[in-house]
Amino acid sequence: MGLQETKIESLPFVTAELNYLAPIAGKPRTYAYDPPPGEPKSTNLPEPHQVPIFDARLIANALSLDREGFALVRHPTAVRDFHDDAEVRRVYYPAAEAFIRATLQADRVLIFDHTVRKRVEGAQDIRGAGPRQPATRVHVDQTATSGPNRVREHLPDEAEELLKGRVQVINLWRPIRGPLRDSPLAMCDGTTVAPGDLVASDLIYPNRRGETYSVKYNPNHRWFYIPEMTPDEALLLKCYDSATDGRTRFGPHTAFADPTTPPDAPPRESIELRTLVFHKA
């Protein structure tokens, strides 16, 4: 069973605009670089909806990565400068890997990349052109196709054996500065997502093609956020799960403009690690 309706309805909430996928003919696609002449950068056009986003702090202990698809964790870090790529890899990677392995009781964890974001007013989220911006459309980082392909890409010699067990793609997301009041992350309760809400969408790189899920609006979706997160807190976000036993497999999420954000709030700075999590068959 998911969270109790009566408990949810009593929670504080904000009403904010989330960008879902507008109806489109054909498979949506987005270029991760300057598109070829005459091609739009993306056919993934937004359809904004005003939705309530509930404060999950009071129910954080009841959240489950396997049920809702996200969880709040306490995870202090020794990293001094998250903008120092070498320090992140030297200090943060091994600590986060051990933490995720212990927290999820996994046999193995592989961190395959990370992204540091800093919101700049009016800036576009373009790779290689200034800091990465918060992602402002509802999405899931992986799909039923791209999740297993991540294993084949990063561990080609072991992939087929590893794919016999349970594989998850889990993001570890945290603010670098806090308390975070600008562009927080909204997470959709996976128990309220219907399979038909998820639309496979191409993400085209110069040398490869990835796939993510865009998300169609569904009034049954129930959204949560954690207000005023500190740098000692983090979110575990489920982006893919090979288990098909009723657990949430894909967790939609997005940054959003919180209408209660003070005008003098520092711009959001955050980091997300993307990890492959393995459980033996």
Q: DSSP string spanning the chain?
A: --S-HHHHHTS-EEEEEEEEEPP-SS--EEESSPPPTT--SBS--EEEEEEEEEE-GGGGGG--TTTTSEEEEE-----S-TT-HHHIIIIIHHHHHHHHHHHTT-SEEEEEEEEEEE--TT----TTSSSBPPP-S-EES--TTHHHHHHHHH-TTTHHHHTTSEEEEEEEEEESSSS--SS-EEEE-GGG--GGGEEEEEEE-SS-EEEEEEE---TT--EEE-TT--TTEEEEEEEEE---SSS-----EEE---TT--TTPPPPEEEEEEEEEEE--
Residue 2 lies in a domain: no
Q: What does the alpha-carbon distance between residue 239 and residue 249 come to, in Å, rounded to a whole number?
A: 7
pTM of the model: 0.94
Residue 12 lies in a domain: no
pLDDT-derived band at 1 (thresholds 50, 70, 90) equals very low
Specify whether the CB–CB gap between 63 and 56 falls below 8 A. Answer: yes
At residue 125, the pLDDT reads: 65
Residue 207 lies in a domain: yes
Residue linked to tokens 């070829």: 36
In degrees and rounded to multiples of 5, residue 91 shows phi and psi of -100, -45
At 75-114, the pLDDT tens digits run 999 999 999 999 999 999 999 999 999 999 999 999 999 9
At 225-249, the pLDDT tens digits run 999 999 999 999 999 999 999 999 9
Q: What does the alpha-carbon distance between residue 29 and residue 16 come to, in Å, rounded to a whole number?
A: 26
Class of residue 213 by CB neighbours under 10 A (exposed 0-12, middle 13-18, buried 19+): buried
The per-residue pLDDT of the chain, averaged, comes to 94
Residues 6 or more apart whose CB falls under 8 angstroms from that of 223 comprise 18, 51, 52, 53, 54, 186, 187, 188, 189
Residue 21 lies in a domain: no
> Residue 126: which domain range?
29-220+228-279
How many folded domains does the chain comprise? 1
Residue 1 lies in a domain: no
Residue 254 lies in a domain: yes
At residue 4, the pLDDT reads: 65
Residue 22 lies in a domain: no
Residue 15 lies in a domain: no
| pLDDT of 254 higher than 80 | yes
CB contact burial 105-134 (16+ within 10 A = b; e otherwise):
ebeebebeebebbbbeeeeebeeeeeebbb
| pLDDT of 257 higher than 80 | yes
> Omega of the bond prior to 266 within 30 degrees of 0, cis?
no
Higher per-residue pLDDT: 25 or 281: 25
Task: Find the CATH number of the domain harbouring 135.
Answer: 2.60.120
Amino acid at 186: A
